[in-house]
Chain A
Amino acid sequence: MHAPATSALLENPFAKRRSHRETYEFIVRSVLRGATYLILFATAAIFLHIIVKGSPILFQAKAPFINVEFLTKLPETLHVLEDKQGHIYKTDPKGADAIKHQLGDNLRQEKTISYSGGGILGPIVGTFLLVLVCIVIALFLGISSAIYLSEYAKPGKFIEWVRLAILNLAGVPSVVFGLFGLGVFVLAAPVFTNTPLDRALLVIPLGFTQMSFQGWDTSVLSGAFTLAFVILPVIITASEECLRAVPMGFRETSLALGATRWQTIWRSVLPFAMPGILTSSILGIARAAGETAPIMFTAALAFKDKLPWQGEAGFGGVFTESVQALPYHIYTLAARIPQNEYSERAQYGSVFVFLVLVMTLATASVLLRRKLRAKYKW
């Protein structure tokens, strides 16, 4: 070292100095870390943006602290009236008539913004119905198919082939399932009726009534079935994996003790596979709740001024009526109406409620997995 002696004395000659190699390693590590945190940051920014813009719409400072109106009213057209003194009134169609009457000549201008007034009860109810019916169909068919494939089916070429086909279907775009749902459930599924439509593909007389393959129209049932088949491949594959992960010894022990096949499955296989099955199922359902493309043509309407059970069909309407759904409502608000200061309330409000709903499902699956895993261990 040619440094002046004084400074050399001040420096600790044994201090660890970074070599070139270490500097290089540090840089590479930082770049990789940067990539990781960039992903986290982008996601956090999106969540924060929605929370900051959306939560003031749902929550308020006064009791009851939640904007009840937003959650309990149907969507309606928002009317914005301005009088000649510059006062602005935001109201629903009925209120608009009253204010117009009251203002008379004093009315300066009126703007209407579709879908942006009222609340989002219709979409919330629709999404709940779709998800509920979808859960019943998907879990029933999914878990029992998985039990068949893993416990009953004889291994062979055919079953391998079926397994592969199911695995491949898991990657098929959801909009393709939407096409299929339209072609099959909306236009060709069987119904029992005395007056079959002309477009029915096939009519089978059953004596007291007729079975007509004329489809279920755009309805909750069509949408829920389509959604169920979007997530079925995932649920079947994941459930089967969980079932097969239960050690063979469990089954052998049970059978050796004289239990029947079903007792074995029910008592010593399913309980241990359940955490995995439930987790994957709830994740699947969270996905179904978030899907838009499959319900666009099979269940959802842009606007409906009645709840499903208020129609002609009465309570049966929860299956046979078309509904509004949150994801489709968001699509409508984002793409079909002009963006302005008045449309923001409905947009961010719906997005916020929707995100909370889906994220709750996703979080529930994680928590459930933890809890059940602690209970069943081998």
Chain B
Amino acid sequence: MNEEKPSPSSDFQGLIKPPSFLGLRVDRQSLIKHFFTGSAAVTILTLFLIMYSLLKEGTGFIPTYQFELKVYRQAGLEFCDFIQKPLTENTALLSKLNRAVNADTATLTQKAQVRRDALFLAKGRVEEKTARLREAVTEAVETANTPPEKLAQARQALNEANAKAVGEEAFPDVYSAEERRQIASDLGTLQPDAAEPPAIIKTLSAEFAEQDRIAKEKYAGFLEAVEAFEEATEPIVELHDGIAELAKSTKEAAVQQHMAEDAKAQLLAAAESAKTPEAKANFQKEADATSLEAIDYKGKIEPIVAKLPEYEAMVPTYVAAIKAAMEKVPQKGETKESTALINEVRKQLPKHLTHAEESPALMKAWQWDKPIPMVQALTAFLFGGDWITNSSWQDFYGVVPLLTGSLLIAVIALVIALPLSVGAAIYTNQFASPREQELIKPFIEFIQAIPSVVLGFIGISVVGDLIKETSNVAWLQWIPGFPVQERLNMFNAGLLLALMAIPTMFSLAEDAIQNVPRAFSEASEALGATKLQTVFRVIFPASLSGVFAAMLLGLGRIIGETMVVLLVAGNRIAIPDFSDGIGTVFQPAHTLTGIIAQELGEVSKGSSHWQALFMVGILLFTISLLINFVSRKVVKRFQLPKI
């Protein structure tokens, strides 16, 4: 506005005759207006640019992924995966059988094992504590002309330190008094150059070996069955590996060719826009030099498909072998755990066998040249159960494991946060004294300012260990999922996210309760209702739409949160195993937001992985818009009458 002459009457003048600027008559008011319009336009445009850039990067994903899936099919990798699927199932079942047989043998060996392992652990700790003195002794021994008294001195110091360290050990209650004495004397005189391990260790190791032998004898049938179960797959694995090798080389050739095509297209484009004829001719020449040999998919797929009859012949043998192996598996295990595992295997076995039996038919119906429509790339992204990247076989971008992780964590957080925040809102608004309100409201709003990375850090450094220690407490073992395997899991993340969502949900719910017209409660009290009846039958129901909107916005905050889940959720990309029931919440998971934060830094721009991450961004964007939309609708639909 400095283009104007500063005169006291300029405003007045401006009203009558706009001053001149660059020969144009522009008045100051419209200049100011244009200034604001301009900056608003910049802001709004950039905000729209967000959606545009997301869409631009993300939508490129679909043709790229379609191409990758096409190669996956044409090169025959898909064909190989028909065989791989029963093999993977077999591995899963086998691991269950192994766990069952281990649980059974452990009934015999466990005691000896505990006795041996506790001693080993104690020895390790003692050695660690006295490491410096041990090294001193070793050095004294190795140095050629150490005076004997110095060596003896070093040994003496080490023995003293050993004895002290052994004294600090708390041994489990599995040794007799005599054994304890022996342990103390053997560990107390540990010397680094001793020729043999201490006698007590030898004794306990022998004891364990003996028990192990007895157990192996007792469960010989079961062990053999498990071995047979594993061996049944061997010919199939061999066949699969052979054709997988072929398919992979075709795929590599296809990728090479695709890259060459891109390079050629770039060269041609460069030739098109070249400034001088020489440069143009140069580019053209280079482009012509890149030979593009069409890949003979048909010829390459033939040897792969030719193996089908061989595989078909193997399947009945395999099924028979598995059935025979299962015959040898005992009906009931020795322990609860093994019985449960065996029952699980028996339950899943028919499905596995049908999968195996059906696979040749599926492979016969499979056609290498069946086209993959565009939509399939999208559905493979939205409903695909695998998120596999940087794989040597095939990358898959299926968002389901991430989505289930995000949603499950959100549900955990909501289950914790909703009762707490709504309860707190009712209490603060209806029951608390004004003084209490003055304390509670700002305090809860203050939580909002805690940065999420700080909460994530607390999750790693404090809450994780707290959960793990609590889960080992004996009288809490009835809780499903206890004892917890992983320190960082969905429950941990849900707990912290609940704390993050509480301020949002609390203030919105409190507003909703506050907005219930006074006349409602007055009418209720005039009819003789008590305070509780008024609160729970009149005020709270009237504010439900607001409380629901509060829950939705809290949910939006939880799903969109990145740092807490990245640090605390455990980052395991797999659909949670729901067979644990409620205990599922103690498994680690990965999330939509976490995957972007974790992987975006490492991918190259424009690759299919990069585009897939932008697609995840679009998905998050859509979810948050949906949540906002629904909450607005709910508030509008159930608006209270103005009284």
Residues of A within 8 A of B (CB): 21, 24-25, 28-29, 31-33, 35-36, 38-40, 42-43, 46, 49-50, 82, 84-86, 108, 140-142, 144-145, 147-149, 151-153, 162, 165-169, 171-180, 182-184, 187-188, 229, 232-233, 236, 260-263, 283, 286-287, 289-293, 296-297, 327-328, 330-331, 333-335, 339, 347, 351, 354-355, 358-359, 361-362, 366
Q: Are A148 and B40 in contact (CB under 8 A)?
A: yes
Name A179's contact: one of B136, B461, B614 (CB within 8 Å).
Answer: B614
Instruction: Name the distance in Å between B589's Cβ and chain A's nearest Cβ.
Output: 16
Q: Are A40 and B454 in contact (CB under 8 A)?
A: no
Chain B residues with CB under 8 A of A178: 596-597, 600
Residue B447, interface by CB 8 Å: yes
Chain B's closest residue to A147 (CB) is B36
Among residues 535 to 586 in chain B, which have CB atoms less than 8 Å away from a CB atom of chain A? 553, 556-557, 559-563, 566-567
Known: A144-B39, A293-B597. A174 touches B454 (CB 8 A): no
In the complex, A358→B454 CA distance in Å? 11
Q: Are A262 and B32 in contact (CB under 8 A)?
A: yes
13 contacts between A and B (CB under 8 A): A35-B420, A39-B447, A84-B136, A152-B36, A171-B557, A172-B624, A173-B624, A178-B597, A184-B49, A290-B452, A358-B449, A359-B449, A362-B449
Secondary structure at the A interface, as helix, strand, loop or mixed, is: helix
Known: A145-B43, A334-B567. A175 touches B596 (CB 8 A): yes
Q: Are A141 and B37 in contact (CB under 8 A)?
A: no
Q: Are B50 and A180 in contact (CB under 8 A)?
A: yes
Name A175's contact: one of B43, B56, B419, B593 (CB within 8 Å).
Answer: B593
Known: A32-B431, A141-B39, A179-B617. A162 touches B44 (CB 8 A): yes
Residue B460, interface by CB 8 Å: yes
Chain A residues with CB under 8 A of B600: 178-179, 182, 296-297
Residues of B within 8 A of A (CB): 11, 14-15, 28-29, 32-33, 35-37, 39-40, 42-44, 46-50, 53-54, 56-57, 132, 135-136, 419-421, 423-424, 426-428, 431-432, 440, 442-444, 446-447, 449-458, 460-462, 499, 502, 506, 530-532, 553, 556-557, 559-563, 566-567, 593, 596-597, 600-601, 605, 613-614, 617, 620-621, 624-625, 627-629
Chain B residues with CB under 8 A of A152: 33, 36-37
Known: A36-B423, A141-B39, A331-B456. A290 touches B451 (CB 8 A): yes
In the complex, A167→B44 CA distance in Å? 12
Chain A's closest residue to B49 (CB) is A184
In the complex, A50→B454 CA distance in Å? 9
In the complex, A21→B129 CA distance in Å? 64
Known: A179-B613, A179-B617. A229 touches B46 (CB 8 A): yes
Q: Are B605 and A187 in contact (CB under 8 A)?
A: yes
Instruction: Name the distance in Å between B527's Cβ and chain A's nearest Cβ.
Output: 16
Q: Are A347 and B457 in contact (CB under 8 A)?
A: yes
Secondary structure at the B interface, as helix, strand, loop or mixed, is: helix
Instruction: Name the distance in Å between B309's Cβ and chain A's nearest Cβ.
Output: 50
Q: Are A166 and B47 in contact (CB under 8 A)?
A: yes
In the complex, A333→B457 CA distance in Å? 9
Q: Are A39 and B46 in contact (CB under 8 A)?
A: no
Known: A297-B600, A358-B451. A39 touches B502 (CB 8 A): yes
Q: Are B423 and A35 in contact (CB under 8 A)?
A: yes
Known: A40-B440, A182-B600. A84 touches B135 (CB 8 A): yes
20 new A-B pairs (CB below 8 Å) besides A229-B46, A292-B451, A293-B562?
A33-B431, A39-B420, A39-B499, A40-B443, A43-B447, A49-B458, A50-B454, A108-B132, A169-B47, A173-B620, A176-B617, A176-B624, A179-B596, A260-B15, A291-B452, A330-B453, A331-B563, A333-B457, A354-B451, A354-B454
Known: A152-B33, A152-B36, A184-B49. A84 touches B562 (CB 8 A): no
Instruction: Name the distance in Å between B566's Cβ and chain A's nearest Cβ.
Output: 7
Known: A49-B462, A290-B449, A354-B451. A35 touches B424 (CB 8 A): yes
Name B461's contact: one of A293, A328, A334 (CB within 8 Å).
Answer: A334
Known: A141-B39, A171-B556. A32 touches B427 (CB 8 A): yes
